[in-house]
């Protein structure tokens, strides 16, 4: 089991992940509306804070390091496959997200983008004795339930 502050920065759907530096963002819009009255003055209606949205880039990279500098045994491909499975199998259902403060939040997966960092790394890894699994960066968006 992944632990925030040991081998994960966040936990999503039971799997711990490391987040790319400076990619973690939270947005919470204000639900408000302005309109003009008949006399020309401005009317403002404010119903408060909306639901939060999290966007981040998950590092699905081979040989990631834990906080104590030991290597995480999960491959980048396995991290990517877990994220992809969570995204495709949770249709109209919430999943549990634990943020960096270890707070559990029910969220919906709303967006998923992946990029292989270097296509030739799979060939080079074989010749240097490294992992044959590809390394990915996966950008996701989550919406508070």
CATH code, 60: 2.40.30
Helices (H), the chain: 76-89, 121-128
Phi, psi values for residue 32, rounded to 5°: -150, 165
Residue 119 domain flag: yes
Residue pair 137/58 in contact by the 8 Å Cβ criterion: yes
**Dihedral angle computed from the Cα positions of residues 70, 75, 137 and 98, in that order, rounded to the nearest 10 degrees:** -70
Alpha-carbon Rg for the chain in angstroms: 20
Question: What does the pLDDT look like over 7-65, one tens digit per residue?
Answer: 999 999 999 999 999 999 999 999 999 999 999 999 999 999 999 999 999 999 988 99
Q: In terms of residue numbers, what domain contains 131?
A: 10-29+48-144
Report which DSSP code applies to 9. S
pLDDT exceeds cutoff 90 at 1: no
CA–CA gap between residue 140 and residue 80 (Å, rounded):
11
Q: Which residues face 53 on adjacent strands?
A: 27, 143
pLDDT exceeds cutoff 70 at 124: no
Tell me which of 26 and 123 has the higher pLDDT: 26
Question: What pTM was estimated for this model as a whole?
Answer: 0.85
pLDDT exceeds cutoff 80 at 67: yes
Residue 34 domain flag: no
Q: Which residues face 142 on adjacent strands?
A: 54, 109
Residue 2 domain flag: no
Residue 113 domain flag: yes
Residue 3 domain flag: no
Helix (H) or strand (E) holding 81: helix 76-89
- Confidence (pLDDT) at 127: 58
Residue 102 domain flag: yes
Report which DSSP code applies to 17. E
pLDDT exceeds cutoff 60 at 125: no
The tally of domains found in the chain comes to 1
Question: What does the pLDDT look like over 68-111, one tens digit per residue?
Answer: 999 999 989 999 999 999 999 999 999 999 999 999 999 999 99
**Other Cβ atoms within 10 Å of 122 Cβ, number:** 16
């Amino acid at each position: 089991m992944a632990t925030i502050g040991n081998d994960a920065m966040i936990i999503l759907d039971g799997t711990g992940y490391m987040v790319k530096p400076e990619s973690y963002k939270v947005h919470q819009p204000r639900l408000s509306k302005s309109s003009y009255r008949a006399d020309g003055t401005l009317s403002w209606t404010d119903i408060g804070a909306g639901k939060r949205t999290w966007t981040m880039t998950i590092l699905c990279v081979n040989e990631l390091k834990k906080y104590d500098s030991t290597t995480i045994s999960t491959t980048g491909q396995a991290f990517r496959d877990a994220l992809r499975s969570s995204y495709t199998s949770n249709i109209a259902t919430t999943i549990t997200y634990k943020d960096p403060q270890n707070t559990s939040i029910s969220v919906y997966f709303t967006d998923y983008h992946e990029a292989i960092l270097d296509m030739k790394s799979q060939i080079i890894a074989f010749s240097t004795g490294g992992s044959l699994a590809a390394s990915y960066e996966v950008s996701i968006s989550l919406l508070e339930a």
